[in-house]
Amino acid sequence: MELMKTTLYFTFMITIVSLSTQHKHLMLALMCVETMMLTMFTVLVMFTSTSLTISQTPMPIILLTISVCGAAVGLSLVVAITRTHGNDFLSNLNLL
Quickly state the pLDDT bin for 5 (edges 50, 70, 90). confident
Helix (H) or strand (E) holding 42: helix 26-50
**Does the model's pTM come out above 0.75?**
yes
**Are the C-beta atoms of 34 and 78 separated by less than 8 Å?**
no
Distances (CA, A) of 90 to 29, 60, 76, 95: 10, 32, 16, 9
Per-domain residue ranges for the chain?
2-92
Taking only the tens place, the pLDDT of each residue in 50-77 is 777 777 778 888 888 999 999 999 899 8
Q: Which residues pair with 25 in a beta bridge?
A: 89
For the domain covering 2-92, report its CATH number.
1.10.287.3510
